[in-house]
Structures are given as C-alpha cells and as structure tokens.
Amino acid sequence: MTTPATQVPSTVREVGPSDTPPVKELADLSVLIGGQGGDGTLTVSDLLARYFRKRGLYVYTSRNVLSRIRGGHADSSVRASRDAISAIKPTVDILVAFDKEALEFGRPELEADGLVLYDSSVFQTDLPATFGFPFATLAGSQLGQPIYKNVAAYGVLSVMLGFDPALTRSVIEERFKRRGGEALEKNLKALEIGRKAALEHAEPMHRFTVVDGTAHDLRLMTGNQAVALGFVVGGGRFFAGYPITPATEIMEYLQRYLPSVHGVVRQAEDELAAINMVIGAAYAGARSMTSTSGPGLSLMTEGIGHAGAAEVPIVVADCQRVGPSTGEPTRHEQSDVAHLAHIGHGDFPRFLIAPGTVDDCFYLTVDALNLAEKWRLPVILVLDQALCQNSSTVPGFDLSQVHLDRGKRLEAEAVATRPSYKYYELTPDGASPYALPGTPGVTSQVTGNEHDEYGHVSVNPVNRVKMMRKRMEKLIHAQSDLPLSRTFGDPAAKIGFIGFGSTTGPIREAQDRLQTRGVSTRFFQARTLFPVPARELSAFLEPLDHAYVVEHNYAGQFAGLIREAMPSYHARLRSILKYDGLPFRAAEIVKAVEGGTDGRVG
C-alpha cells in the first residue's frame, strides 16, 4: 500500500525496452475523473479546464454528483477542443479512477487507445493501459492529508499531457488564491508530488498533446453564473430564493454581485415567500427574479398565477432536474416544460424563454427582464441541470448588445400631464402604462382578483371579458418581441431536429456526425417555447419529411405543445426522448436517427 510511486510497477501495457511510447496529438480531448463524493473530482476537472483555456482551447466541463456532500459515486469530465463546443465528448481519452467503481463506470466510454490513471492505494487492476499511482498514500504521507490526492493526480495528468510546468502551477495559484495560506501551499506541494511521481515512473508518462487553440479571452462559466451576470446587466436589482439544486448558484452569485449595484438578495423561508417577495419588489418597480427547480416551482405556481392576473412583471428561472417530487436532485431532465406552459389555474399569459448555451443564458436573461417589464407578466427562463451546472468557455459578453426596454414606464413628470392614471388601462396591445408606487399625485390598486381598469374588484361579465382579452392577447401582440429560434445545418435537408436548452450541443454534434455519414439534417433550436413559435416552426417544418423533437422527458412534452399549437404538423413530428437523468450524447441521437426510431433512448 505504501509503495512510493517510483517503485510502482507499471501495468501490463506492452512497451519494449527501448520503445518510447508515441505521443498522441489531439485536437479534441476528454478526461473523465471519477471517485466517491468528497474525492475532489470537480477540482481536477476545474484545474484542467483552466489550463486548457489558457492554451486558447474551448472547454466544456460536466459533473455528475449525488445529492450529498460525501460518499456515492461522483464524477466530472472536461473536454478541450480547438472548435467551439457545448457538449461532452462522446468518448473518453483519459480516465482517472479514485476507486474501482469509477473504473467500472468509465471504462465503457474509453477510446480504444485511451488510458487509465488509478489510485493504487485504493485498489489494484491488471487491465491493459492502466497506470497505478498511490495518490492517497502519497498525499497522506507527505502532506498529512490524503485529501490532496486529487491535486497529485492533476500533477500526473500534467505530465501525461505534456503541460507547461509554470502554467500548470499558475492554474493552481489562480484557483486557490482566494483561500490562500495553507490550502494554496499544500496544493502546490501536491502538484509537485504528482509531477515527481510521473516523471520518475518506470515508463515515460507523456502520452498526449493537445494542439493549442486560437480562441483567446474566453471565459469559463456555468449557465447559472451567466444567468446571474445577465440579471445584473439587464437591470435586475432584487432577488429572493430558497436553496435547491441545481438552481442555488444563481442566488449565490447574486449574493456576490447585487450589493455592488445597490441591489438586494434575500434567502427566504420557502419558495412561497421567495416568489411573493419578488412580486412585492417588482410591484414597487425593481426588476426582480427568483430561481428554483421542480419542487420549488410547484410551490411557486400560486405566485406565478398571481403575477399573471395582477400584471406584475417577474422572472422565474427554472433549473429543471429529474422529477416529479424530489426526484433526482442532481440529475438532468427537461420535464417541467408542459407544466410551465400551463402553469397555474385559470388562463393567464406567460412567456417561456429557453437559452441553449451558456452565452445564450446571459443575453436571454436580459431579454426575459425586458419582456416581463414591458408586457407586465411572468416570464420563465427554462433552464436544465446540464446547462445550469456544466461549464463551458464563452466569448466575453458584449455589452453593446444589451438594451433595456422598460416598456410604457411613466416617470413622475409624464404622469402629471395625463388626465388619468389607471394600472389596468385598456390599450390596443394589452400592456398598460405604469408608474411606480410613490409617484406624487396618484395611487393605484393592484390585485389578483378580477378588476376594472382602476384595479377595483369587479365581477361584471362585460368587464371580465375585456380584462381577460387584455391579458391573454399579450400572447399575440408580443410575438415579434420574443427571442427568435436559431437554425443549423443543411437548408435542403429532409430530416429535422427540434430541441432547446442543453440539447443544443449534442444535437449539433450529432448533425456533424450524420453529415459525415451522408445524412443531411437541419436543426431548429427553439429559444421561445411558449407561446409556441408556430410561424417559425411551420417555415422550418414545411420542407422536411419529418423532424425529431429531442428532449429529456418521458412524455415528449415539447412535442406535445407543438402538436397542440400546430395540429396539421402532427404526423411530421417524431420524438427522441431520454429520461435516465443523464444528458444526451451525440451518439445516442445518431443511433436513434439511423434506427429511424420514434421513441425513447432510455
């Protein structure tokens, strides 16, 4: 167990005495790091991601953890590529296994010439192409804490990948500088322990080189962070939430950001309080948002309906996870879509906006705030676990693309020149001019009860019909304001894909693969899910034989919404569905298309 790394016999990989193993050059590499929760796999992927980004490469990281801090299988992966990417690589080039389960979990994904690094102080294996290093023992004996084994593994990886030593170190400094002191010092030592073990290994360990990229000034971030940044830049100033995976980081980032712009963040006692605090703040005039996931969304349903009826502009970010009920808190799904389209009792308008990539998260959060305020209704940002928590490199955000639209907001001077001010004034497009409470000379009544233009309760049937149409017809009048879809692929193709959210990456990758096999496809990335973008969709569907709606749920929820809105296209739609808690891989989509299936990939 305590054998120093230098004496650990290499595994049975056949290498002749004089042979130097070939160094494989890659333009697209993936490393999967697996172990128990608490083994620090996320740190390894984060360090690698930082390094690759500094080499001008695009990076995508994903994580797969259980909903507990320690214990249970956990893994994270990092992919680096010269091309822009927004999905995990379907195969693994290097697998780092801190325990046997991780080896078993990761091996099926391993490339034919992929390599395995494993912690030989935890288990042994005599499988080919595996290299054992006693990471935990090395860290334990030299640093007093086995926990540093993850950074020791990073050290070995840095040799294996031919990293520049100074840059390798600086990445650790960058990552741990905030914690400083002992943490930084010990992690730097752990790096050297790993590097030394690799350099002194019986076999040369340098096996891969990733070709430097040309992408500079890239930022590495998750969708949650991009939503938080978009919120601030979009003028968001009030946030209330309640912790829930995978939404919590939005609140945590905003706790850091909002005070610097005179904004307020509160952790409420539950989601009922969170959404109602947001309603109160939005009513008072602050651009306001909450974020949540399935179970919290269920509780917020009441408030979303209230905002729709009372015409209070709020944004709700729904970071979808596996449902129903508590489901699988850390796993991926897109199964709130049907609920969101119909959320709440009674009829009221809402917009569902769905970013598909991390930078989309930034810009569409700005749009969501504009739309809510302008159209006086709840806007829901439809996110999913993979989009929220996986990180990818994005170009720096372009502030010149950010525009605020406050709709028919009335400043005090404008109010003073009007004959009247009515919160629910009937207008041709359904959106009423609004002034903030506190505006001299006027008061307003805002209520979820049916009301007249002044906001006084009314059950007059004529008024009811007028008010109902005022609200509901926003869905028609706002159409040209809603985020447009994006289409990718061959305009002459006969096969289509329709998807949204984090499936954007895997679908685009599946398109590339299908193309190399002679199958042309076209992809409609929906960025507004509701109202269903029927005009855009019919233009997209018209030339196609059929289109696969690719989504993460059992029932084909988005396909259902499209069929409901566009019944004449019923027969042209097929589904590719996955609901095992894990994001699509491009290969699964390719297989489904090649099999011609309409169905579930598991």
Partner 1 sequence: MVESAKPIPSTWCPGCGDFGALAALKKAMAELKIPPHEAVLVGGIGCSGGIHNFLEINGLHALHGRLLAQAVGVKLANPKLNVVAIGGDGDGYAIGMGHFMHAFKKNASILYVVMMNETYGLTKGQAAPTAPLGYEGNIERPFDAILAALSQPQPNFVARTFSGDPKTLTKVLVEALEFNRANRGFAFVEDLSPCVTYNDTFKEWREKVLDVSTLPGYDASDRAVMFRLCLETMDKGRIPIGVMHRPREVSTEAESLELKLLPDRIGPAVTPIDLEGNLPTYQKLLAAAG
Q: How far is the CB of 248 from partner 1 (least distance, A)?
A: 17
Classify the phi-psi angles of 514: left when phi > 0, otherwise alpha if psi is within -120 to 50, otherwise beta: alpha
Compare residues 28 and 425 and give the one whose CB is closer to partner 1: 425
- Of 144-152, 163-171, 231-239, 494-502, the window that binds partner 1 (rule: CB under 8 A) is 231-239
Pattern of binders to partner 1 over 239-278, x per CB under 8 A? Answer: -x----------------x--xxxxx-x-xxx-xxx-xxx
Rounded CA-CA distance 394/197 in Å is: 35
Please, which residues have CB within 8 angstroms of residue 184's CB and are 6 or more apart in sequence?
172, 173, 176, 177
**Is residue 306 close enough to count as binding partner 1 by CB under 8 A?**
yes
Compare residues 133 and 283 and give the one whose CB is closer to partner 1: 283
Q: How far is the CB of 445 from partner 1 (least distance, A)?
A: 4
Pattern of binders to partner 1 over 332-361, x per CB under 8 A? Answer: ------------------------------
Task: Report the site for partner 1 in 450-489 (rule: CB under 8 A).
Answer: 454-457
- Of 70-78, 233-241, 473-481, 560-568, the window that binds partner 1 (rule: CB under 8 A) is 233-241
Q: How far is the CB of 240 from partner 1 (least distance, A)?
A: 7
Compare residues 57 and 286 and give the one whose CB is closer to partner 1: 286
Report H helices in 286-411.
294-310, 337-342, 358-375, 385-389
CB 88 within 8 A of CB 585: yes
Cα distances from 217 to residues 230, 396, 448, 481, in angstroms, run 19, 7, 48, 31
What is the DSSP pairing of strand 314-322 with strand 287-292?
parallel
Rounded CA-CA distance 484/526 in Å is: 8
CB 379 within 8 A of CB 349: no
CB 427 within 8 A of CB 404: no
Number of neighbouring beta carbons within 10 Å of residue 20: 10
Q: How far is the CB of 92 from partner 1 (least distance, A)?
A: 25
Total number of residues binding partner 1 (CB under 8 A)? 74
Cα distances from 197 to residues 53, 313, 512, in angstroms, run 26, 59, 40
Compare residues 329 and 344 and give the one whose CB is closer to partner 1: 344
Task: Report the site for partner 1 in 307-336 (rule: CB under 8 A).
Answer: 310
Compare residues 45 and 575 and give the one whose CB is closer to partner 1: 45
DSSP 108-120: GGEEEEEEEEEET
Compare residues 173 and 564 and give the one whose CB is closer to partner 1: 173
Q: Which of the 8 DSSP states describes residue 317? A: E
**Is residue 421 close enough to count as binding partner 1 by CB under 8 A?**
yes
Q: Which of the 8 DSSP states describes residue 377? A: S
- Of 215-223, 332-340, 377-385, 577-585, the window that binds partner 1 (rule: CB under 8 A) is 215-223
Rounded CA-CA distance 241/296 in Å is: 9
Q: How far is the CB of 91 from partner 1 (least distance, A)?
A: 27
Task: Report the site for partner 1 in 135-174 (rule: CB under 8 A).
Answer: none
**Is residue 404 close enough to count as binding partner 1 by CB under 8 A?**
yes
Number of neighbouring beta carbons within 10 Å of residue 544: 19
- Please identify which residue in 67, 125, 447, 520 interacts with partner 1, judged by CB under 8 A: 447
Compare residues 238 and 540 and give the one whose CB is closer to partner 1: 238
Q: How far is the CB of 360 from partner 1 (least distance, A)?
A: 15
- Please identify which residue in 32, 74, 115, 232 interacts with partner 1, judged by CB under 8 A: 232
Instruction: Tell me the backbone φ, ψ of residue 257, rounded to 5 degrees.
Output: -85, -45
Cα distances from 246 to residues 141, 155, 328, in angstroms, run 37, 30, 11
Q: How far is the CB of 19 from partner 1 (least distance, A)?
A: 42
Number of neighbouring beta carbons within 10 Å of residue 404: 13
**Is residue 371 close enough to count as binding partner 1 by CB under 8 A?**
no
**Is residue 378 close enough to count as binding partner 1 by CB under 8 A?**
no
Compare residues 261 and 484 and give the one whose CB is closer to partner 1: 261
Pattern of binders to partner 1 over 60-99, x per CB under 8 A? Answer: ----------------------------------------
- Cis check: omega of the bond before 246, within 30 degrees of 0: yes
Report H helices in 542-599.
557-565, 586-594
Compare residues 13 and 177 and give the one whose CB is closer to partner 1: 177
- Of 40-48, 86-94, 188-196, 389-397, the window that binds partner 1 (rule: CB under 8 A) is 389-397
